[in-house]
Amino acid sequence: MIDAYHFLCSVKRRQREDCRTWGGRMKSPTLHDVAQLAGVSYATADRVLNRRGNVAEKSVRKVEEAVAQLGYVRNVAAANLSRNRRHRLAIVLPRQSHPFFGRMHEQLRRADHHMKAAQVQLDVVEFEAFDAGALDAALSGLLGQEYDGIAFVGQGQNEALASLATLRARGTKVVSLVSDAPESCRDHYIGIDNVKAGRTAARLIGMTHGDRAGHVILTAGSLAVRDHSDRIRGFKEVLRTDFPRITVSDLIETKDQDRLMREALRARIAKEDGASAIYNAGAGNDGLIEVVRMLDLRAQLFCVVHEVSGKIREALEEGVIHVAIDQRPEIEMNRALALLQAIVDDLPPPPAPELIPAIYVRDNLPDQQS
């Protein structure tokens, strides 16, 4: 037993299917089809589909049922073009203090032409790395500027929580990049699983030791930054459970600065003679490379670092560095841009597999142009 409305809908649906089929080909349903099947005006159907409100609940239900029956898919790009709507997006990144962030900035420059063609205004806002106060200042500066969406790299963002909450309350979509933020602060996260990355580094070092004892010198930018702290946590978990004969030094925090890395690492190696490996969970790799070369420790120390740069490539080929775990920031940036464009239009996130970092040794380095 069905009511008269649903019976009429089923009849109209069959009629619409007959009308849309010609020569064995199915034509895509239009908004006019949705309005006719729902028994409402085109303007009402348009208001429902574009969520502009002021439509009776009964009419909303009829339009939604018609959409489901017809399999109608809203052409967001066409709708934005017809209304001359431009998205305003902001990407909040640390300055190009080391090659990783330089790669992100470069990818944004490459994407600029495509963003303009897609009616997207893309602004890049820079702040000083490892300075949560600077991140908060950058985010608070976006308040009142009516951005549709922002993506930001977290820096131990407790100071920035209020600004992020205000942005989201005002309807701005927020995506965290590289280093995750609490779920209350963002709509989505784009980046690798940093705990898994740290566990991978530990597994590689453990495999090189076999049943032998060893000692790892551990470095990172700062434990206040979540991606670094997550990597260190994952690293220690694996060594503790699976390779208990390998000990770990107290963490050296370098703020990802080559000078601090060079000075602190050289002093630590002199103090902890007999170290068998180094794991750097952050940047500052140029300083690490200088120390290993200067002290000629390539045969003694198995070195695992993050990200690939020109100098890392040379060090891998030379045997100074043995493994580089690269999270491919260009892919992260492309995903962030695609995600922001979707969610500001109230569309589901584009389907994408988990971001798995690439593990590079000197034998599988990508071509330079990659």
167 and 221 fall within a common domain: no
Give CA–CA dist 326/303, Å, rounded.
14
**How much of the chain exceeds pLDDT 90, in percent?**
61
Give CA–CA dist 236/218, Å, rounded.
10
What is the pLDDT of the chain when averaged over all its residues? 87
More confident residue, 4 or 89: 89
pLDDT at 25 over 60: no
| Sign of the dihedral defined by the CA atoms of residues 320, 322, 324, 325, in that order | negative
275 and 182 fall within a common domain: no
Looking at residue 128, its amino acid is: E
- Listing from the earlier edge strand, what are the strands of the sheet with 188-190? 120-127, 87-94, 149-153, 173-177, 188-190
Q: For residue 361, tell me if it sits in a domain.
A: no
Q: For residue 365, tell me if it sits in a domain.
A: no
- pLDDT given at position 244: 97
> Mean of the pLDDT values across residues 353-369?
90
- pLDDT given at position 322: 97
Give the distance, in angstroms, between the CA of residue 82 and the centroid of all CA atoms in the same chain: 31
Q: For residue 225, tell me if it sits in a domain.
A: yes
295 and 186 fall within a common domain: no
Give CA–CA dist 182/191, Å, rounded.
14
Alpha helices in 21-123 (DSSP H): 31-38, 42-49, 57-70, 76-82, 99-117
Give CA–CA dist 243/85, Å, rounded.
57
Judge contact between 235 and 202, C-beta under 8 A. Answer: yes
Q: For residue 343, tell me if it sits in a domain.
A: yes
Domain boundary residue, one of 74, 107, 126: 74
pLDDT at 72 over 80: no
333 and 318 fall within a common domain: no
219 and 339 fall within a common domain: no
Q: For residue 366, tell me if it sits in a domain.
A: no
* φ/ψ (deg, to 5) at 156: 75, 65
Residue whose entry in the numeric block shows the structure tokens 């589909």: 49
Assign 237 to helix, strand or coil: helix
222 and 204 fall within a common domain: yes
Of 96-100, 156-160, 257-261, 350-354, minimum mean pLDDT range: 156-160
Looking at residue 40, its amino acid is: V
Domain range for 202 is: 194-326
pLDDT digits (tens, 9 = 90+) for 299-358: 999 999 999 999 999 999 999 999 999 999 999 999 999 999 999 988 888 888 999 999
- pLDDT given at position 54: 77
> Mean of the pLDDT values across residues 63-81?
69
62 and 109 fall within a common domain: no
67 and 157 fall within a common domain: no
pLDDT digits (tens, 9 = 90+) for 255-313: 999 999 999 999 999 998 889 999 999 999 999 999 999 999 999 999 999 999 999 99
Q: Structurally, how many domains does the chain consist of?
A: 3
More confident residue, 243 or 24: 243
- pLDDT given at position 181: 85
What single DSSP character describes residue 104?
H
228 and 320 fall within a common domain: yes
Q: What is the CATH number of the domain that holds 298?
A: 3.40.50.2300
Residue 253, CB-side half-sphere exposure with 13 Å CA sphere: 8
Domain boundary residue, one of 50, 74, 98: 74
Tokens representing 57 are 């609940």
Q: For residue 227, tell me if it sits in a domain.
A: yes
107 and 184 fall within a common domain: yes
Judge contact between 70 and 34, C-beta under 8 A. Answer: yes
Domain boundary residue, one of 18, 50, 74: 74
Please name the helix (run of DSSP H) or strand (run of DSSP E) that holds residue 60, with its range, or none.
helix 57-70
> Mean of the pLDDT values across residues 179-191?
91
Q: What is the CATH number of the domain that holds 43?
A: 1.10.260.40
Q: For residue 217, tell me if it sits in a domain.
A: yes
Q: For residue 369, tell me if it sits in a domain.
A: no
216 and 321 fall within a common domain: yes
249 and 180 fall within a common domain: no
